[in-house]
Each structure stands twice: as structure tokens, then as C-alpha cells.
């Protein structure tokens, strides 16, 4: 029988709430400890999810010998320092996306995790979901032929509250870091590292990216058009076009439960993968699989994917450093 995995949670916000709901749904996993800078918030969160321990600081949690792995659920400007703290104290880490604010920080964390022989993974839950596994199997089997084009769009209209985190440069605001990471990760999962990129960014009055149009070209000749925005609303969908057919992922593409396969010979097939809980259960199971087998990185969300995406985001957001 495999060892029960005791999770430590840094942060007690909305995404941590959803994640811990899935932990308590997943066999062999428990919410063991929660750390929040607000002690009352942390205590209430721990009570909600039956966690036996709560802390009012992050250091105490990473020093707890009973914590098997830490999930970082804080805003992304804080990920680097918090993940570094965990790795320095010999704790495996699952860090919310984007893992860091830039490629340099991601590289440093991966180097530290590798040096300390610790598991580290970006929490790109999309890459762990059943629909993505099946799409990869279809593509790898050559069913839609050679991929020629990929389109993915993830856009929504945020309220025009320029004091909000989404519009705050210091807090990592903008569409690319918030939702663009999904479409970039999707394209990287399917097509790998691009050989060329062009982007056109529309800025908000607070000098963060409101909308990003991204064109990628790949060594084999395929191209991708990706769109992210916090200023406009589009269908949150994805299409993958090959020489023999097409895959259409229904919205919301970042947590899809349905897609269709349409071949040029007229054959069509619909796939459905209802979530067992809320979708977070798949990345939880992937992390536990890796920990049980002594793996330092996940095949579903490898370090190479996180590194590629972080470099692409750096290139897109070069204007923000000015």
C-alpha cells in the first residue's frame, strides 16, 4: 500500500480552496497543514478542510517534518521566493502557474530542485487532464496526420478597475501571465519549442498587457496563433489542424471535458471526460504518482515545458521592463 501524501498549503485564497476540495476527494491524499499570514483566515481554512495544523507564517510550515509536499497557491509575484524557501528546506513543490515572473527565476528554481534532488512542478492542471492525454495519443498515432496549424484563445473582459491585481504591474498583472500561460502551455505541449515568434500587444492604461496576439512557427513548418486578453471576450476554445483531420476542443479549453475529432474522410467522433471532482484531482494524482516513484519532474508537465513557456512570456512582455 502506497504511503498517504500529506499536503502543506501556502495561501488560503480561492484557488487553494478549489485545490483542497480536490485533495479531500483524492484517495491517499490529505490536507495536513495550511499557512496564511492572516491567522484567523488560516484557522478557518484548516477547519473547513479538516487540516490538523495551521500556521501564521510560511517558514513554520516548510519546517514541519510531517509535510510531504507543498502546494503554493499565492499570487505569482511571490512564487519564486516561496518555492525557493520550500526547496531550501527539502520540500517537494507544486507551484501554481505561472511558476515565476520570468525565465531566470524558473531556471534558478529548477537548478535548485535538481541540485537538492527534489520534485518540482508547475501546476499546469490542463496538461494533466484526461482530454489532453487522449489528444496526445491521437496526435502521436498519426490519426490527424502532420500538424499544420493550432489556434487557442483564452480571453475575458475584466472589470475596468485599474486598482485590481489584473491591472497592477507590480503584482504581475496583464493577460499573458494570467491566462496567456494556458494557451502558451497548450501549444508547447502539442508542438514543442517554436523556432520563431512574433507578438502584438495592446497595453492597458496601467502599462500591463491587456491583449496579446501571438504567432509561433515550428521547425516542422507548423504555425500557431494564440490569443490572450483581459479586455475582450472570445470563445475559450482550441483547434488543432493536421493533414488528415482536425481536433476541436470545446470551451473552456483550459479545463475542457469535451472535444471532437473530424477527419477529412468524413469520420467524426466526440469525446467526453467529465471531471471526477473539479479538475484539480488530476494534477494531484500526477504529483502523488511522481512522489511515490521518486521522480524529480513530471512527464505531463516537464521542466522543459515550463522553461519554454517562461521564455516565450519574457519575449512577449519585453516592453514591460522599459
Q: How far apart are CA 67 and CA 136, in angstroms?
A: 34
Please give the pLDDT value at position 276. 95
Q: How far apart are CA 65 and CA 32, in angstroms?
A: 11
Residue 322's pLDDT band, with cuts at 50, 70 and 90, is very low
Q: How far apart are CA 99 and CA 122, in angstroms?
A: 5
Delimit the CATH 3.30.360.10 region(s) of the chain.
Answer: 127-274
In tens, the pLDDT along 95-131 reads 999 999 999 999 999 999 999 999 999 999 999 999 9
Delimit the CATH 3.40.50.720 region(s) of the chain.
Answer: 5-123+279-294
CA distances in angstroms from 280 to 25, 177, 256, 266, 313, listed in the order given: 10, 20, 12, 35, 24
In tens, the pLDDT along 64-99 reads 999 999 999 999 999 999 999 999 999 999 999 999
Q: Which three cell numbers stand for residue 226?
A: 494564440
Q: 127-274, which class in CATH? A: alpha beta
In tens, the pLDDT along 211-236 reads 999 999 999 999 999 999 999 999 99
- Which has more confidence, 256 or 319? 256
β-bridge partners, 147: 242
Please give the pLDDT value at position 1. 61
Query: Is domain 5-123+279-294 given the CATH code 3.40.50.720 in the classification?
Result: yes
Q: In b/e form, how buried is each residue of 217-251, taking b as 16+ CB within 10 angstroms?
A: ebeeebbbbbbbbbbeeeebbbbbbbeebbbbbbe
Q: Is the separation of the CB atoms in 71 and 33 below 8 Å?
A: no
**Mean pLDDT in residue range 166-177:** 93
CA distances in angstroms from 282 to 27, 139, 230, 278, listed in the order given: 12, 21, 27, 9
Helices assigned H by DSSP within the chain: 14-23, 39-48, 58-62, 79-88, 103-115, 130-140, 175, 181-191, 280-292, 303-316
Residue 319's pLDDT band, with cuts at 50, 70 and 90, is low
Please give the pLDDT value at position 160. 84
Q: How far apart are CA 234 and CA 155, in angstroms?
A: 6
Cross-sheet strand order for the sheet of 93-96? 53-55, 29-35, 5-10, 69-72, 93-96, 120-123
* pLDDT above 90 for 3: no
Helix, coil or strand: residue 237 = coil
Residue 3 CB neighbours (<10 A)? 10
Q: How far apart are CA 99 and CA 74, in angstroms?
A: 11
- Residue by residue, what is the 3-state secondary structure of 83-94? HHHHHHCCCCEE
- Residue 93 sits at the vertex; the CA angle it makes with 92 and 96, to the nearest 5 degrees, is 170
Please give the pLDDT value at position 320. 55
In tens, the pLDDT along 34-56 reads 999 888 999 999 999 999 999 99
**Mean pLDDT in residue range 159-182:** 92
Q: Mean pLDDT for the chain?
A: 96
* pLDDT above 80 for 24: yes
Please give the pLDDT value at position 142. 98
Amino acid at each position: 500500500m502506497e504511503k498517504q501524501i500529506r499536503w502543506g498549503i501556502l495561501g488560503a485564497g480561492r484557488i487553494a480552496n478549489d485545490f483542497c476540495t480536490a485533495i479531500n476527494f483524492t484517495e491517499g491524499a490529505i490536507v495536513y497543514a495550511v499557512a496564511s499570514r492572516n491567522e484567523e483566515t488560516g484557522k478557518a481554512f484548516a477547519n473547513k478542510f479538516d487540516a490538523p495544523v495551521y500556521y501564521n507564517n510560511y517558514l513554520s510550515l516548510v519546517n514541519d517534518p510531517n509535510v510531504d509536499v507543498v502546494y503554493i497557491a499565492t499570487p505569482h509575484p511571490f512564487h519564486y521566493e516561496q518555492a525557493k524557501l520550500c526547496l531550501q528546506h527539502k520540500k517537494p513543490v507544486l507551484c501554481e502557474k505561472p511558476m515565476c515572473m520570468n525565465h531566470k527565476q524558473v531556471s534558478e528554481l529548477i537548478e535548485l530542485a535538481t541540485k537538492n534532488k527534489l520534485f518540482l512542478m508547475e501546476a499546469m492542471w490542463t496538461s494533466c487532464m484526461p482530454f489532453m492525454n487522449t489528444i496526445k495519443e491521437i496526435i502521436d498515432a498519426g490519426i490527424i496526420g502532420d500538424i499544420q496549424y493550432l489556434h487557442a484563445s483564452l480571453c475575458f473582459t475584466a472589470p475596468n478597475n485599474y486598482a485590481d491585481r489584473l491591472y497592477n504591474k507590480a503584482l504581475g498583472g496583464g493577460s499573458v501571465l494570467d491566462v496567456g500561460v494556458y494557451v502558451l502551455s497548450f501549444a508547447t505541449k502539442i508542438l514543442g519549442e517554436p523556432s520563431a515568434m512574433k507578438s502584438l500587444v495592446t497595453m492597458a492604461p496601467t502599462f500591463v498587457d491587456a491583449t496579446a496576439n501571438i504567432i509561433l512557427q515550428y521547425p516542422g513548418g507548423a504555425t500557431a496563433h494564440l490569443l490572450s486578453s483581459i479586455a475582450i471576450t472570445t470563445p475559450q476554445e482550441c483547434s488543432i489542424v493536421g493533414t488528415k483531420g482536425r481536433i476541436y476542443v470545446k470551451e473552456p479549453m483550459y479545463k475542457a471535458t469535451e472535444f471532437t475529432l473530424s477527419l477529412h474522410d468524413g469520420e467524426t467522433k466526440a469525446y467526453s471526460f467529465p471531471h471526477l471532482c473539479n479538475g484539480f484531482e488530476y494534477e494531484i494524482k500526477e504529483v502523488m504518482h511522481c512522489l511515490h516513484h521518486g521522480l524529480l519532474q513530471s512527464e505531463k508537465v516537464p521542466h522543459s515545458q515550463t522553461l519554454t513557456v517562461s521564455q516565450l512570456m519574457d519575449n512577449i512582455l519585453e516592453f514591460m521592463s522599459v
